[in-house]
Amino acid sequence: MHKHHSALGLATALRPVQPVTLLRPHAAARAARFFVEKFQGRSMYAVKANPSPELIRILWDNGITHYDVASIAEVRLVASILPQATLCFMHPVKAEEAIAEAYFDHGVRTFSLDSIEELDKICRATNDATDLTLCVRLRVSSEMSKLSLASKFGVDVNEARELLFRTRQVADALGICFHVGSQAMSPSAYVQAMERVRAAIVSASVTVDVIDVGGGFPSVYPGMEPPALEAYFGAIHDAFESLPVSYSSELWCEPGRALSAEYASLLVRVERRRGDELYINDGAYGALFDAAHIGWRFPVKLLRDEPSRARNVAFSFYGPTCDDMDRMAGPFMLPADIDAGDYIEIGMLGAYGCAMRTGFNGFTAGERVIMEDEPMATLYVADDEAREAVSSNVIKL
């Protein structure tokens, strides 16, 4: 892969016809080191946010040893890239064959569940193994998150008693896990979830060895500027310390978005302008699924040799396919004189961006290049001055 110093330089030098994925390994490495150093427990990477083998290796090289996988394909992928990594199969509804392959062929010992049926399945598939860490997924509120994960999985705290009790009987280590929803905008989301954990532990009177607070750690997007991650870590640690768990119990988290968002952005070309609508060469079936389907706003920047002096106005985007739904409402703030042939960088697409790409209608990913500049925003450079110093590329959203 080629290395480039700036997105602007790349756009003006190469004038790429296809969208280009801009990768920033140093940003992913920084995020990994931040979690490893500052989260007072174990951070495992939720692979679904971005399963790129290069990223998985970068996270490993920077101290992430545990990986949250949710499908047998993710198990095989991470096992093949990192034979020494610890894999945790954290999907509460699995195929029995997947559990068996994960356990017998890939050494997976940690599984999540939210029903007696799944517990029975895990016992059958592993031949009643006695070396399992089983995490009961509790349903918690998603009200402080931008993306709910509250309805599909999780046992209600009022119904968790029997499941915790039965799981305790077969598990070598018993865990309780939850997910507060993605892009949790307040640390109190975790504190409230921990209160439900406490209620579940008290009502079942079981010894709990692992508390897994899941993902949900935020990144920065326009209109979504969360508190510092240290505030989340502090609140979680305090809540964990006050739980009635065994002395040797462990605290885990499963960040997906926070570890991968800054890793990638996208360089796109405007193919047509129609009023305040820009037809660009990537979209809902490419890396912009969330922008299209849940109205997510990503940072954007016009890349021109001679910077535009026009004021910023609100644009929406159309993607390249023939589908009307291939539309991203934004608003995306860009200079009023933008036109066909211009290049735009769309930032923060490392999480749930590149991972969602399809080949629909023949529009596939273009080149991937490694960048040495800074992502368009970052949560990992502490104070404002340092932030300025790191790069002129870091923009105020």
373 sits near ligand PLP (criterion: CB under 6 A): no
**Residue 210 binds to ligand PLP (criterion: CB under 6 A):** no
For ligand PLP (CB under 6 A), the number of binding residues is 16
Stretch that binds ligand PLP, among 32-40, 189-197, 256-264, 267-275 (CB under 6 A): 256-264
- Segment contacting ligand PLP (CB under 6 A): 225-233, 255-263, 302-310, 322-330? 255-263
Collapsed DSSP state (helix, strand, coil) of residue 181: coil
Distant-in-sequence, close-in-space partners of 361: CB < 8 Å, separation ≥ 6: 285, 320, 321, 322, 323
H or E segment and range at residue 236: helix 229-241
Window 273 to 292, contacts with ligand PLP (CB under 6 A): none
Residue 214 is a binding residue for ligand PLP (CB under 6 A): yes
Which amino acid, 194?
M
- 16 burial class (0-12, 13-18, 19+ CB within 10 angstroms)? middle
Position 118 contacts ligand PLP (CB under 6 A): no
- Candidate list 24, 48, 139, 297; residue touching ligand PLP; CB under 6 A: 48
Tell me: cis bond preceding 331? Omega within 30 of 0 counts: yes
Q: Which stretch binds ligand PLP (CB under 6 A): 209-217, 222-230, 300-308, 335-343?
A: 209-217
Q: Which is nearer to ligand PLP, 41 or 366 (CB)?
A: 41
Shortest CB 361 distance to ligand PLP, Å = 27
Q: Both tokens of residue 51?
A: 């399963």
- Considering beta carbons, is residue 106 or 257 the nearer one to ligand PLP? 257
Which segment (212-220, 230-238, 300-308, 359-367) binds ligand PLP by CB under 6 A?
212-220
Question: Is 216 a binder of ligand PLP (CB under 6 A)?
Answer: yes
In degrees, rounded to 5, the angle at the alpha carbon of residue 355 between the alpha carbons of residues 353 and 358 is 95
175 counts as binding ligand PLP under rule CB under 6 A: no
Q: Which is nearer to ligand PLP, 187 or 214 (CB)?
A: 214
Q: Which of 6, 23, 34, 68 binds ligand PLP (CB under 6 A)?
A: 68
**Token output for 395:** 């923009």
Decide if residue 49 touches ligand PLP (CB under 6 A). yes
The residue at minimum Cβ distance from ligand PLP is 215
- Answer for the pair 270, 340: CB distance below 8 angstroms, yes or no: yes
- Closer CB to ligand PLP, residue 125 or residue 229? 229
Closest to ligand PLP by CB, 187 vs 366, is 187
Can residue 255 be called a binding residue for ligand PLP (CB under 6 A)? yes
Report DSSP letters for 298-363, one per residue. --EEEE-SS---SPEEEEEEE-SSS-TT-EEEEEEEEETT--TT-EEEE---TTTTGGG---GGG-
The first and second tokens of residue 48, run together, are 């679904």
Is there binding between residue 39 and ligand PLP (CB under 6 A)? no
* Residue 265: its H or E element: strand 264-274
Shorter beta-carbon distance to ligand PLP: residue 140 or 338:
140
Residues 286, 287, 290, 295: is their CA dihedral positive or negative? negative
Interacting residue with ligand PLP among 41, 51, 256, 366 (CB under 6 A): 256
Closer of 103 and 190 to ligand PLP (Cβ) = 190
What CA–CA distances, in Å, run from 195 to 156, 213, 244, 313? Answer: 13, 12, 11, 45
Site residues (CB under 6 A) for ligand PLP, limited to 129-168: none
* 217 interacts with ligand PLP by CB under 6 A: yes
Binding interface with ligand PLP (CB under 6 A)? 46, 48-49, 68, 90, 179, 182, 214-217, 254-258
